[in-house]
Every structure is written in C-alpha cells, then in structure tokens.
C-alpha cells in the first residue's frame, strides 16, 4: 500500500490517539481505520484531506506530522517550524511577504502555476539558490515539462480538460527509455535532456505567454487596481514594468530581464526570496506538493494512489517477499504462464502486475502473478486481453491453496491478509472458495480495468510467440 497507512500508524502511536477516537471523529466504522492502520487498504486522497482536518481538531501537531510523513518529507523537521499545509500557513518572515506567497494558487484552474513554481524550486535548489544569473523561460518550461511527464505520460493522470501542458507534451516526439522509467534518472537529467532536444519554440511561446506574468500578481496587487485582468492581455503587458518598479518596495518573487513584455526571456529572483526559500525549502516544497495533490485529486477522483504518481518515485520497492510466496507455489506444483502457456521455471521467473504498476502503484500479492521474464517485459504497462482474466483468477486461487498447505494457518493468514482488504473479502476462509474469489475480483478489478483503459493504458494485450 501507499504512504497513508504508514504515516497514520506513526502519528497515532506518537500522539496517543486511538483508532477508535479517530474513527469516531471521522464518523466511520473502526474497522476502516484498522485497515488503514495495518496497511490493508489505503484511504483515497479525498479521505486523506478529511483525516488531516480531523487530526487538526484532535491535535494540530499530529496533523502537521501526518502531512509531512504522507508527502515523504523528513520526519525530524521541527514541529514549531512546520505549519498546516491545508491551512496554507508557512513560516513567517520579516524580509518577505509570506502572505502573498500563500495566495499563489488562488483561483487556479489549470496546472501551470503548480508546475511553474515546483520547477522554479527545483532549479533554485540545483543552483544552490544563487540568484545572480537569470532563469530563462526555456529552462523553466523544460523543467515544467519534465515535472509533468511522470504524472501525465507515465502514470496517465488527467490535468483537466482545458489544460495545455498535456497537449504540449503529447506533441513532442519524445523517446523515453531506461533508466528514466526505472526511476534511476537522478534529478531528471536525462529526461530534461530528451525534452531539450526537441523543437520547443511553439511550446515556449505558448507557456511563457501568461504564467510567468500572472504568478506574481499576489505580490503587487496594490499596483493593479486600474488594470484589466480579462481580455486584451493588459495586465501581462504591464507586469514587467510593475515588477521592476516595485522590486525593492513590494519585493515580488522575481522580476523580468526587460520591462517590455515582448522582449522578456527570463526572470531574476529577488535575493530575499532566495534566502527564504533556501532556509525553508522542504517546508515550502511540501506545501506546494500538498496544493498540487489537492488539484490533481479533484481531476482524478477515482484514480488510486494519486500521491505516489505526482513525482518521479525515488525507487521501486523490492519484490522479495512476493517472489518468495510464488516460489513456494512453484515448488509444490507446476504452473503455466497464463499469457504464453509455457511452463514457468521456479528458479527463473518474473512477477507481473496484472493491473500495471504505473496505474495501481503498489505491489500487493492480489495483483501479482508469476510469468516468464520475456513475457513480462513484452507486457510492459499494457492491460491484458479479457480472455486472460479468468486464468488470472484461477492462478491466484491455486496460489492461495498451495501456500495454505505449505504454511501453517497463522503464518498463511499473515501472508495473505492483504487480499482481504484489497479485494473487500470479509473472511479469510472465503479466499479458498473459487466463487467467492471470482466475485471479489469482479467487484474490485473490473472497475479498475475500465478506469485504466479510460485513462489511456493500452488494452487487449496478448503475447505474440516468436
């Protein structure tokens, strides 16, 4: 499962909040919290927001810590420095207008501001927050496209029907291969290089048109009373001159390399803001990620594990335990690959995510089956043809029965317990009844297969034997 269960367990233990107390405050049944606590199921991203608000009512520090752990931030961040992400509060400063920063994502209807600011943070960190050199629109937009590539192209999330970032990404002739898709592309170096090699003139022209000029509106609002924010682009045209004039008085986040809108090619970060962002980088980035998560959850309400799909994962989890499970099965009974009908070698096999990992974003046993390495490689992140579904269930059924024979009752249940939460089965004995298992997979996987197909995962895949 994802981070939510791990974060919730640590927070409840650390702050002495019982599962029953949280369940009562959330107005849900205690077994639901129990399953989150033991990582049997994950709360949806929408429910995560409810958990944060409920924890805030029970104990504010618990809510702050939960957000920090859920977003993957450092667990030792001093709680007196970390303010509530959902309340949009950030560390105060006497040098810069933090209130303006908290209004950065107000009235946001597309992904541009989130990706622009996240990309700006990434570039500043890479530059060690040095601000003498300008940051070009070209560099910012390449970073934006690189940050958008994983959620849009790899995980196939929607940015919204009117959002142009996805369209611009799709228009590029990108050839992405290892090690990028195996998450070994440190700091997106190869991904940025691949994007930079494209003809980006049209993309840069489109994306520089509004976002850089409108992002800093909260910092100079008092200067905008007589400017129209609607048609005619009056505000955007005036912004370079306003930012220059107010740079030392209002201290906007940045100004431009020209006071003429048409000549602007880059931005220059205010040194006081660079110091603030360097000092509070982790807090500000987590706050931004929380807002980005909120935006994306609204546009992908049924998609599992949204929080795991917004950024390039740091690594894939080991499948050692899952491999050990299927080795037990293969040692006691010969199995055929459901896709190729070839016998599976117990000493040389791969584990296939029936629902692609890039859609489901977990490694639970109920979605994993053994297959031949070459078959697994060919399947990639495609959706299997409908004809394999019953064979998949039958193979899972065999696995459950064979491991029950080898393992004792207690050990077996400890291994297969995630099936209960993942498939919504109430009693462990029903795992050993084929009809119950079939019904559970029908209820659970059919909607997910449909959703994955709707998101753009290629369906009807089957293995072509050479």
DSSP one-letter string for 367-383: GEEEE-HHHHHHHTTPP
Q: What pLDDT was estimated at residue 375?
A: 96
Q: What pLDDT was estimated at residue 235?
A: 85
Asked if residue 418 lies in contact with residue 365, where contact means CB atoms within 8 angstroms, the answer is: yes
Q: For residue 318, give the DSSP letter.
A: P
User: What is the distance of C-alpha 344 from the center of its chain?
Assistant: 34
Q: What pLDDT was estimated at residue 36?
A: 82
Q: What pLDDT was estimated at residue 261?
A: 94
Instruction: Output the six-digit token pair for 413.
Output: 């249940």
SS (H, E, C) 255-311: EECCCCHHHCCEEEECHHHHHHHHHCHHHHHHHHHHHHHHHHHHHCCCCCCHHHCCC
| Partners of 348 in beta bridges | 345
Other beta carbons less than 10 A from residue 127's beta carbon: 14
Phi, psi of 255 (to 5 degrees): -125, -175
Q: What pLDDT was estimated at residue 466?
A: 54
Q: What is the pLDDT of residues 67-113, one digit of tens each?
A: 878 876 443 333 333 343 444 468 999 999 999 999 999 878 889 99
Q: Which CATH architecture has domain 3-87?
A: Orthogonal Bundle (1.10)
Every domain range in the chain assigned CATH 1.10.260: 3-87
Torsion of CA 291, 293, 294, 299, to 10 degrees: 130
Most distant CA atoms of the chain, gap in Å: 79
Q: What pLDDT was estimated at residue 15?
A: 92
Phi, psi of 213 (to 5 degrees): -85, -25
Closest CA relative to residue 216, chosen from 253, 189, 175, 264: 253
pTM, to two decimals: 0.77
Q: What pLDDT was estimated at residue 228?
A: 61
Alpha helix stretches (DSSP H) within 3-85: 3-15, 19-26, 30-37, 45-58, 60-70
Low-confidence ranges of the chain (pLDDT < 70): 1-2, 40, 44-46, 72-89, 178, 226, 228-232, 314-315, 466
């Amino acid at each position: 499962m994802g981070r939510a269960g791990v974060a919730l367990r640590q927070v409840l233990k650390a702050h002495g909040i019982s599962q029953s107390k949280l369940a009562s405050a959330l107005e849900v049944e205690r077994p639901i919290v129990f399953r989150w606590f033991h990582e049997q199921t994950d709360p949806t991203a929408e429910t995560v927001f409810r958990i944060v608000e409920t924890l805030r009512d029970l104990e504010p520090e618990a809510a702050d810590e939960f957000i920090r752990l859920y977003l993957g931030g450092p667990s030792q961040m001093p709680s007196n420095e970390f303010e509530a992400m959902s309340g949009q509060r950030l560390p105060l400063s006497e040098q810069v207008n933090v209130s303006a920063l908290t209004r950065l994502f107000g009235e946001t209807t597309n992904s541009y501001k989130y990706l622009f600011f996240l990309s700006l943070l990434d570039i500043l960190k890479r530059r060690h927050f040095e601000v003498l050199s300008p940051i070009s629109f070209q560099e910012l937009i390449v970073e934006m496209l690189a940050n958008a590539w994983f959620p849009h192209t790899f995980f196939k999330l929607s940015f919204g029907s009117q959002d142009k970032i996805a369209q611009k990404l799709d228009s590029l002739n990108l050839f992405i291969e290892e090690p990028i898709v195996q998450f070994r592309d440190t700091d997106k170096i190869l991904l940025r290089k691949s994007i930079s090699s494209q003809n980006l003139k049209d993309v840069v022209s489109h994306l520089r048109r509004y976002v850089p000029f409108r992002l800093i509106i909260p910092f100079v609002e008092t200067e905008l009373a007589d400017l129209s924010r609607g048609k005619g682009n009056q505000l955007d045209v005036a912004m370079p001159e306003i930012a220059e004039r107010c740079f030392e008085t209002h201290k906007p986040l940045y100004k431009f390399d020209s006071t003429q809108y048409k000549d602007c090619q880059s931005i220059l970060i205010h040194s006081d803001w660079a110091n603030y962002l360097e000092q509070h980088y982790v807090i500000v980035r987590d706050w931004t990620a929380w807002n980005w998560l909120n935006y994306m959850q609204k546009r992908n309400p049924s998609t599992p594990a949204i929080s795991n799909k917004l950024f390039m994962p740091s690594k894939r989890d080991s499948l050692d335990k899952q491999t050990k499970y299927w080795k037990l099965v293969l040692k006691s009974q010969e199995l055929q690959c459901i896709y190729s009908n070839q016998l599976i070698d117990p000493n040389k096999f791969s584990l296939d995510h029936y629902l692609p990992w890039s859609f489901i974003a977990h490694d639970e046993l109920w979605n994993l089956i053994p297959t031949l390495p070459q078959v697994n490689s060919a399947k990639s992140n495609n959706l299997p043809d409908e004809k394999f579904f019953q064979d998949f269930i039958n193979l899972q059924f065999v696995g459950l029965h064979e491991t029950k024979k080898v393992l004792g009752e207690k050990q077996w249940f400890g291994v297969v317990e995630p099936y209960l939460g993942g498939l919504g089965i109430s009693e462990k004995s029903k795992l050993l009844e084929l009809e119950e298992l079939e019904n559970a997979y029908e209820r659970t996987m059919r909607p997910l297969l449909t959703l994955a197909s709707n998101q753009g995962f290629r369906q009807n895949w089957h293995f072509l034997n050479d």
